[in-house]
Amino acid sequence: MTKNRLEAFSDGVIAIIITIMVLELGVPHAPELAALIPLIPIFLSYVLSFVIVGMWWNNHHHLLHAVKQINGRVLWANMLLLFWLSLFPFTTAWMGENNFAATPVAIYGGVLLLAAISYNILVRVLISIPANEGLAHALGSDLKGKISIGLYAVAIPLAFVSPWISCALYVAVAIIWFIPDRRIEQNVER
Amino acid sequence: MTKNRLEAFSDGVIAIIITIMVLELGVPHAPELAALIPLIPIFLSYVLSFVIVGMWWNNHHHLLHAVKQINGRVLWANMLLLFWLSLFPFTTAWMGENNFAATPVAIYGGVLLLAAISYNILVRVLISIPANEGLAHALGSDLKGKISIGLYAVAIPLAFVSPWISCALYVAVAIIWFIPDRRIEQNVER
Amino acid sequence: MTKNRLEAFSDGVIAIIITIMVLELGVPHAPELAALIPLIPIFLSYVLSFVIVGMWWNNHHHLLHAVKQINGRVLWANMLLLFWLSLFPFTTAWMGENNFAATPVAIYGGVLLLAAISYNILVRVLISIPANEGLAHALGSDLKGKISIGLYAVAIPLAFVSPWISCALYVAVAIIWFIPDRRIEQNVER
Amino acid sequence: MTKNRLEAFSDGVIAIIITIMVLELGVPHAPELAALIPLIPIFLSYVLSFVIVGMWWNNHHHLLHAVKQINGRVLWANMLLLFWLSLFPFTTAWMGENNFAATPVAIYGGVLLLAAISYNILVRVLISIPANEGLAHALGSDLKGKISIGLYAVAIPLAFVSPWISCALYVAVAIIWFIPDRRIEQNVER
């Protein structure tokens, strides 16, 4: 079974998710610069989510690049990841429109955590296919994935201390992933 | 005639359908967890439809994987299937916003039934092309397809007895298809 | 220059156009079947547009299938066609929400006419590339394209006599194109 | 690392951006031609943005066509370009709905400027990869890119003199790019 359509479908879904988030930026009716001020928190939540969805796409791109074979279980594990990503426009808008209040920030992190766990499941399902042993070797202990899950899990309750700590942690995970997994790149190229 | 663009176009349409359904989850204006409670039925109908559209994509993926040749009639049979799938965002939202009332649940099932019949037509048109005889052999009597149509046909009137019976049947069909058609996989790999 | 990305981008745009049209079907708040009755004209205009956009995609698919080479002018001719297609969601909704009144039906036809003319321009630009001479031979006098433009031009003023005559003509063009251009298929396969 | 998915993802995002802009054309409730008159500025801003996004896609297509190799930095430079493009639906609608007032026209130009700078960054990142030296040779001093950035930078303050001068400059840049970069085409074909 080829991975081409899996990549194409995931690209389509992620492209739509990253683009429709901007629809939450309601167009102001007044032509003054001041009319943009109430949009600042919505814009900031959009920027954060754009970076995070971009990060997921990059990781997905790198992960599947190293994959030789897929099966029916991979299709469903991938669908689970896409499901959590599809909730981003909702959580992004809720967080932005409520000015980064504690509960929306925690729920935003909850969806991030569930996406990270799904990504981990996808990695495990892919590694369990014998033809992908190069991927298992390349990923090693998948430290980045485990740190991400840990940071998201910590960030959720911290939202009720200060939502800004949580947001800083969400940004921290994005920075960790910013440089795509060189281990995969190097091992694949060998 | 190659099947690549047919796959790409179908992937695009299905990716958009599965993603715009989430737009029906209207963003609440209050930042409390309680503000999410009225969204629960809409969320549940979204989850159900996400799984079902995912199921259709998986089946479409498997079906076309085994196809060697297409023609103009295949393009239109595929378009008919996409038409019914394109009504999912509407029926999903109507069902969710009305808390799984009998009529929306029945109409939801009606669109599912019409999609299942269209899928069956697509299968027949594909099999009628001599180059795809491997597909005919792989599908056999297409028992799953026939059971799906039967269960949907039964679920529609049962919505007026209890909408939950209908929903259980919609879920049951998804479970039947959850494991993609191993017959196709096995026969293609031979 | 390869045609792959031109096809992929066009597939993406057409897939989005055909799918977002359904968003105009506003979800009724009441769970009764009667709540769907006011949506009937919007639904009919959606069905008509779905068939017409499907027709354009099929034609585009067949046309580009026979193309060997593209250039910068092809990119822009294709963009012009996509521009008129992108207005379909607007004209479809305007026609449907105003119950097929004369002016919206005429404007709907105007956009169809401009799309048909753009398609003709795209065909001419493609034929003007020496490597595509097989396409020129396959299309011959492009009778279908000329009949379409003629029928749309006639249908627009007739909307003010009776919008239903215009709609019948729009359907007639779709039927003419329903069977994709066998001349192309046959000549390419030789 | 192959560039196929980068192209596919960018095509998807740009296809969605170019298409959802049309959603700002609110459907009028009256069936008279006069009901379209208030939409004229929104339509004009849509046409302008459609041409500009089309221009970006064409450039992106030509640029990546000449690329032999990509890396993780290319993915992020591309994501930055897509981010600014994703704000087009917002700035287009704000400019159109406020009848080309000075501030929205200036902000519109600001996003154009940031997109042009990001495109320049993408070009530099691509050229810095040794395998793409043919691209560096083909682009030469990238005069067009520099002129675009200059014209956008001039157009922004001029919006407060007259928004129409700014719009004329935005159109001028589109005309400069209308003919895709023949230098790339010629050098690649050698």
Closest alpha carbon to A25 in B67, C80, C156, D90: D90
- C27/C36 Cα distance (integer angstroms): 9
Dihedral pair phi/psi, residue B162, rounded to 5°: -155, 120
CA distance A3 to chain D (A): 12
CA distance A71 to chain B (A): 9
Tokens of D171: 């159109």
Q: Mutate one of B2, B5, B97 to test the C interface: name it (highest C CB count within 10 A).
A: B5
**Per-residue pLDDT tens for D36-85?**
999 999 999 999 999 999 999 988 988 888 888 888 889 889 999 999 99
Average pLDDT per block of 10 residues along chain A, 190 residues long: 84 92 90 94 95 91 86 90 96 95 97 96 91 79 86 97 96 81 55
Check whether B141 has a pLDDT greater than 80: no
8-state DSSP, D71 = -
Task: With beta carbons under 8 A apart, name residues in chain A contacting B43.
Answer: none
Q: How far is CA D152 from CA C6, C158, D55, D108, in A?
A: 28, 46, 15, 10
Rg of chain B, C-alpha, whole Å: 18
Tell me what percent of the residues of chain D surpass a pLDDT of 70: 93
Q: Which candidate from A17, A75, A90 shows the least CB-CB separation from B27? A: A90
Tokens of C152: 């749309």
Backbone angle region of C143, left / alpha / beta, with phi > 0 → left and psi within -120 to 50 → alpha: alpha
Contacts of D92 (CB under 8 A, 6+ apart): D21, D24, D45, D46, D48, D49, D108
Q: Which chain D residues in 142-161 lie under 8 Å from chain A, judged by CB atoms? A: none
Query: CA D7, D11, D14, D16 torsion: positive or negative?
Result: negative
**Once rounded to an integer, what is the mean pLDDT over residues B45-56?**
94
Query: CA D7, D8, D13, D18 torsion: positive or negative?
Result: positive
CA distance C121 to chain D (A): 17
**Per-residue pLDDT tens for D139-156?**
777 788 889 999 999 999
Q: Which chains touch B (3 or more CB pairs under 8 A)?
A: A, C
Q: Which chains touch A (3 or more CB pairs under 8 A)?
A: B, D
Single-letter residue type at B178:
F
Closest alpha carbon to C145 in C125, C170, C165, C117: C117
- D180/D177 Cα distance (integer angstroms): 6
Instruction: State the pLDDT at residue B116.
Output: 95
Chain pair B-C, CB pairs under 8 angstroms: 81
3-state secondary structure of C158: helix
Tokens of B36: 């999410």
CB contact under 8 A, B103 and C185: no
Tokens of D160: 């407060």
CB contact under 8 A, B15 and A12: yes
Q: What is the 3 state secondary structure string of chain B?
A: CCCHHHHHHHHHHHHHHHHHHHHHCCCCCCCCHHHHHHHHHHHHHHHHHHHHHHHHHHHHHHHHHCCCCCCHHHHHHHHHHHHHHHCHHHHHHHHHHCCCCHHHHHHHHHHHHHHHHHHHHHHHHHHCCHHHHHHHHHHCCCHHHHHHHHHHHHHHHHCCCCHHHHHHHHHHHHHHHHCCCHHHHHHHHC
CB contact under 8 A, B102 and C50: no
Q: Mutate one of B2, B19, B57 to test the A interface: name it (highest A CB count within 10 A).
A: B19
Instruction: State the pLDDT at residue B185.
Output: 55
CA distance C105 to chain D (A): 9
Q: What is the mean pLDDT of chain D?
A: 89
The answer to whether C72 faces chain D, any CB pair under 8 Å, is yes
8-state DSSP, C28 = P
Contacts of B155 (CB under 8 A, 6+ apart): B109, B165, B166, B169, B170
Contact predicate D150/D103, CB 8 Å:
no
Closest alpha carbon to C131 in C3, C11, C6: C3
The answer to whether A178 faces chain B, any CB pair under 8 Å, is no
- A99/A93 Cα distance (integer angstroms): 10
CB contact under 8 A, A75 and B65: no
Check whether C68 has a pLDDT greater than 90: no
Rg of chain D, C-alpha, whole Å: 18
CB contact under 8 A, D27 and C93: yes
**Per-residue pLDDT tens for B142-158?**
788 889 999 999 999 99
Contact predicate A17/A42, CB 8 Å:
no
Angle between helices C88-97 and C4-20 (to 10 degrees): 20
Instruction: State the pLDDT at residue A73.
Output: 87
Q: Mutate one of B1, B71, B82 to test the C interface: name it (highest C CB count within 10 A).
A: B1
CB contact under 8 A, C179 and B72: yes
3-state secondary structure of D186: helix
Contact predicate C75/D61, CB 8 Å:
yes
Count how many residues are written for chain B: 190
CB contact under 8 A, D86 and A179: no
Single-letter residue type at B45:
S
Task: With beta carbons under 8 A apart, name residues in chain C contacting D28.
Answer: 94
Instruction: State the pLDDT at residue C181.
Output: 54
Q: How far is CA D162 from CA B40, D109, D150, D156, D168, in A?
A: 51, 13, 18, 10, 10
Lowest mean pLDDT among A181-190, B146-155, B166-175, C167-176: A181-190
Cβ count near B91 (within 10 Å):
22
Cβ count near D159 (within 10 Å):
25
Question: pTM above 0.80?
Answer: yes
Q: How confident is the model at residue D180 (pLDDT cuts 50, 70, 90)?
A: low
Q: What is the mean pLDDT of chain B?
A: 89
Task: With beta carbons under 8 A apart, name residues in chain B contacting C19.
Answer: 13, 16-17, 20, 86
8-state DSSP, C129 = S
Tokens of B142: 């297409």
3-state helix, strand, coil split of chain D in percent (to 5) is 80, 0, 20
Instruction: State the pLDDT at residue A143.
Output: 81
CA distance D32 to chain C (A): 6
Q: Which chains touch C (3 or more CB pairs under 8 A)?
A: B, D
State the complex-level ipTM: 0.89
Instruction: State the pLDDT at residue D190.
Output: 47
CA distance C144 to chain D (A): 28
Single-letter residue type at D102:
A
Lowest mean pLDDT among A135-139, B45-49, B165-169, D157-161: A135-139
Q: Which chain C residues in 11-70 lie under 8 Å from chain D, judged by CB atoms? A: 12-13, 15-17, 20, 23-24
Q: Which candidate from D19, D36, D65 shows the least CB-CB separation from C16? A: D19
Q: Which residues of C85-98 are buried (b: 16+ CB within 10 A; e: fewer)?
A: bbbbbbbbbbbbbb
CA distance B2 to chain A (A): 15
CA distance D31 to chain C (A): 6
The answer to whether B129 faces chain C, any CB pair under 8 Å, is no
Tokens of A14: 């992620």
8-state DSSP, C185 = H
Most confident of A12-16, B55-59, B182-186, C133-137: A12-16
Q: Which candidate from C7, C27, C32 shows the least CB-CB separation from B97? A: C27
E runs forming strands in chain C = none
Q: Mutate one of C18, C45, C179 to test the B interface: name it (highest B CB count within 10 A).
A: C18
